[in-house]
Structure 1
Amino acid sequence: MTLGTWPVGQEAAVGEAVERAREAAAWWGGLDFAERARRLNAWKRTLVHRLDELADLIHREMGKPVDDARTEVVLAIEHLGWAATHARKVLGPRRVSSGLLGINLAATVAYEPLGVVGVIGPWNYPVFTPMGSIAYALAAGNTVVFKPSEYAPDVGRWLADTFAEAVHEAPVFQVVTGAAETGAALCRGGVDKLGFTGSTATGKRVMAACAESLTPVLIEAGGKDAAIVAADADLDAAAEAVAFGAFGNAGQTCVGIERVYVVEEAFDGFVRRVRDIAERIRVGAGPEAQLGRITMDRQIPVIRRHIEDAVERGGTAVTGGPDSVRPPFVHPVVLVDVPEDSEAVTEETFGPTLVINRVRDLHEAVDRANASRYGLGSAVFTADRRTAMTLARRLRTGMTSINGVQSFALVPALPFGGTGDSGFGRIHGPDGLREFTRPKAITRQRFAPPVELASFSRTTKDVTSALGLVRLLHGRRGRR
């Protein structure tokens, strides 16, 4: 079934879009924060009023259930509102201490827009995820050229069209459609920064293309998120959360839970609860379905291979198995006691599968969770607050939820991003606003310096005075 036809943006077309954005940037970046916020909030109201229309479009293009699509749009609206409201506080000029050596100076730091930001978005969350770059870049005073996934071009176009209704003065937010070649053209199209969300392999190619012109990049790549379940955890609540984190959106979530490490005492009870939930999940394309199709056909063999490899190497499927792969759908699969070097543990599956392995204690759980080359999100389940915070800090990930999954994405003030093969840079929160700016340092001389150092007329006495001050401030031995 054909949903629509969209042009493939070639190099010339992408370059023209960037040039239009460059011209618009002078106007948009010249507005004050209040004027930009007023326009962004007008767009936000449009998204609220037409939420069901956008959700239905997401459902038709990429296949997720309508309620999942509605939830995605709600999150995107929340982040758009936060960015518009908080940009002035985060990015506005602020005084900083000039220190004793600069006592005669007034010191100020401000954050200036970069100019034109390119955004390459994913298909699995075609509104919420790219909005983490789009909204924050716009609020910071940049114009945006957005290449949505080739699996969700109509969603991208809808966003740009509704933005133009709120901001009609200039092409501040544009869309170019196409596949990999269009993304490559955007990388080389003269943008001032590029935000990318997608696989680690594609992220490396994006970096290589951007490196040709020293264009800075923000990479939000894959994940192999782990959850840790302690003996004192509420197993009912933990199982509900982990099941949603693993199987929601048919497992097509960069911060989806793919691995769980459960201490021995809680293992059997936790597995039983997750199994029972997984077996009740409704899969299909109908209005009652809780899981939709696997959007990318080429991912289905990967999911099947990971399941088969886990079983062949000694793992046990307590729910589902290789026969759960029924294109274009995959029914939930729960695997236990899977070897740590199997593909189901080491590689991103991006499907509704979950590996649950037992561990002796929480130390072993952290070690296994951190053994992955990915480092995006994670989760911890325990009744002990101190233990929870200790575990969260020890996990080598950009984000951790305690007694929940993916809850960090609900909080607009928190940064979102990973480490290792999960990428670098941050969207959301103050860090997300600053990600799309350049810091500008300004000093203003208020009176003549008491010690002149930056002059050829300085004397040995000036230098000696400065040395004495430094020794006084920084040379004293601390107490043992």
Structure 2
Amino acid sequence: MPHEILQNFIGGQFVAAHGEATLDVVDPRTEAVVATSPVSDGSDVDAAMAAAEAAFPAWKRTTPSGRQKALLALADALEAGSDRLVEAQHRNTGQPKALIASEEVAVGADQLRFFAGAARQATGLASGEFLEGLTSSVRREPIGVVAQVTPWNYPLMMALWKIGPALAAGNTIVLKPSDTTPESTLVLAELTRGVLPDGVFNVVLGDASTGALLTEHPTPGLVAITGSVRAGRAVATSGAEGLKRVHLELGGKAPVVVFPDVDLTATAEAVTQAAFFNAGQDCTAATRVIVHRDVHDAFVDALVTAAENTITGDVEDAFYGPLNNARHFAQVVAAVDGLPEHATVRTGGFRVGDTGFFYAPTIVADVRQDDPIVQDETFGPVLTVQAFDTDDEALELANGVRYALASSVWTTDHTTAERFARDLDFGCVWINTHIPLAAEMPHGGFKQSGYGKDLSAYSVDDYTRIKHVMSAH
């Protein structure tokens, strides 16, 4: 594959960036440089914002059925371009190609079709006479230009989660993908040609400095980001300065509460899959097993067996691929190598192979609630285990972190499941499963996992503003 020189996508055209700085894009399987990306500067961001601003009036006036037609056409284009999307993303993430095709391209097309339908389902109060002689109605309108920043763990999927509701609501977009995984987003941009009017969707490449230019720019009415807590704080601070709305999805530390009445082997297999899928680089990944003391030892043994049967590496039958980049790989290694003496690595805890950022599926037992490995987002194939004696203790352990995105409870007892669904302080609670997502259901958390919802009609609402219209009789 030839070395790619990447360009921005502005006003329906690929254009060279004005910024002189560049970044190497590295294949995490081989550690080879596969592309050079520009670091877009203020003039590049200005151009993208101007293109989006110029396209907004016509796109705003496009009927919901017209926006639906465009989104349906984009979903078809996504499926037709699956091979190109998979190859581009595989170069940047090292994810298994089958995973990209099934979990990002195919699922992404389905999610776009959901948003195509949602474009025609605006909701609000019924109009009526709430004051004598006056009729009130509510208009739900697009915000205008929105700035969006996407992460490297699921580059295509996260772009679709951002653009789907924004386009359905009638907004125009300037999006910056992660500097380590830009290529599938650029293929997506090319697929929008002839489907979306020029300027409705724009892509600028760069690093965190470019992202800051987007969030600080006066044009966007909303900034949406999926990323770290640090990045979310920066966006929220910048948004406050400009009185912009912000939409933050910032990660998680999902607990898995396991009761003694479940099938331990089957549950361990399901939990390890939810922990190690995409190398654990998933904000909803199972990260903290909290298991009843009566079955703790047996369940740890079952987790170890399931982990040791999980394959990684640059091989055909790998369940997951490499960590995304050298810096992140070093952080995961440091998190495990820096464990306190009381913690026990039951399996894993080492690099796989000599080339690439592959890390073995890892089970860590005997951890304590205040250990960094329990409190901090590792974002790698690492699963910790703690024991509990009472329901209240399980809830205290599960809720006792700063993140609040996703969680699960595993039990055959209906009353227990309902209590934990109520009392787990997370934006999603799965019962006897962990990690499935549906386009029709909201994704988003509480506390330092951020605010705002992806997927579902709630995400479309996030990309709208409400106007009250009152007329005298």
TM-score (norm 2): 0.89
Q: In the alignment, what sits opposite 2:465?
A: 438
Q: In the alignment, what sits opposite 2:416?
A: 387
Q: In the alignment, what sits opposite 2:59?
A: 28
Q: Does residue 76 of structure 2 align to residue 45 of structure 1?
A: yes
- Aligned Cα RMSD in Å? 1.8
Change (3 A) 1:389 1:443: farther
Identical counterparts, % of pairs: 33
SS of equivalent to 1:107: strand
Distance 1:3 1:324 in 2: 22
Cα offsets for 1:260-291 (capped at 9, x unmatched): 10111232232222211110111112322222
The Cα of 1:175 is off from its aligned counterpart by 0.5
Distance 1:42 1:426 in 2: 25
The Cα of 1:426 is off from its aligned counterpart by 1.2
**Mind listing any 5+ residue stretches in structure 1 that lack a counterpart?**
447-480
What letter is aligned with 1:75? V
Cα offsets for 1:149-196 (capped at 9, x unmatched): 1111111111111012312x3211010001111101111222111100
**1:35-114 → structure 2 map (5 Å cutoff):** 35-70=66-101, 71-91=103-123, 95-96=126-127, 102=131, 104-114=133-143
Cα offsets for 1:64-116 (capped at 9, x unmatched): 1112212122222222111111222134x6515655xx365433222100011
Change (3 A) 1:358 1:103: farther
Change (3 A) 1:384 1:97: farther
Alignment partner of 2:162 out of 122, 133, 144: 133
Q: In the alignment, what sits opposite 1:244?
A: 273
Q: In the alignment, what sits opposite 1:120?
A: 149
Contact 1:192 1:216 in 2 (8 A): yes
Alignment partner of 1:370 out of 399, 410, 417: 399
SS of equivalent to 2:194: helix
Distance 1:438 1:152 in 2: 32
Contact 1:6 1:177 in 2 (8 A): yes
Distance 2:432 2:194 in 1: 41
TM-score (norm 1): 0.88
What letter is aligned with 1:396? D
Distance 1:273 1:283 in 2: 19
Distance 1:283 1:340 in 2: 29
Contact 1:324 1:333 in 2 (8 A): no
Change (3 A) 1:2 1:305: closer
Change (3 A) 1:323 1:406: closer
SS of equivalent to 2:441: coil
Cα offsets for 1:105-145 (capped at 9, x unmatched): 43322210001111100010101123212110000000111
- Greater percentage in strand: 2
Change (3 A) 1:443 1:313: farther
Contact 1:261 1:356 in 2 (8 A): yes
- Greater percentage in helix: 1
Contact 1:47 1:77 in 2 (8 A): yes
Change (3 A) 1:269 1:110: farther
Q: Does residue 213 of structure 2 align to residue 185 of structure 1?
A: yes
Which range moved further: 429-438 or 320-329? 320-329
The Cα of 1:220 is off from its aligned counterpart by 0.6
The Cα of 1:324 is off from its aligned counterpart by 6.5
SS of equivalent to 1:202: helix
Contact 1:164 1:171 in 2 (8 A): no
Q: Does residue 384 of structure 2 align to residue 352 of structure 1?
A: no
**1:168-247 → structure 2 map (5 Å cutoff):** 169-189=197-217, 190-247=219-276
**1:232-381 → structure 2 map (5 Å cutoff):** 232-310=261-339, 312-322=340-350, 328-381=357-410
Contact 1:304 1:325 in 2 (8 A): no
Alignment partner of 2:429 out of 395, 400, 409: 400
| Larger Rg over CA atoms | 1
Length, aligned pairs only: 439
Contact 1:308 1:322 in 2 (8 A): no
The Cα of 1:254 is off from its aligned counterpart by 1.1
Runs ≥4 residues deviating over 6 A: 323-326
Change (3 A) 1:444 1:50: same
**Mind listing any 5+ residue stretches in structure 2 that lack a counterpart?**
1-31
The Cα of 1:295 is off from its aligned counterpart by 0.8
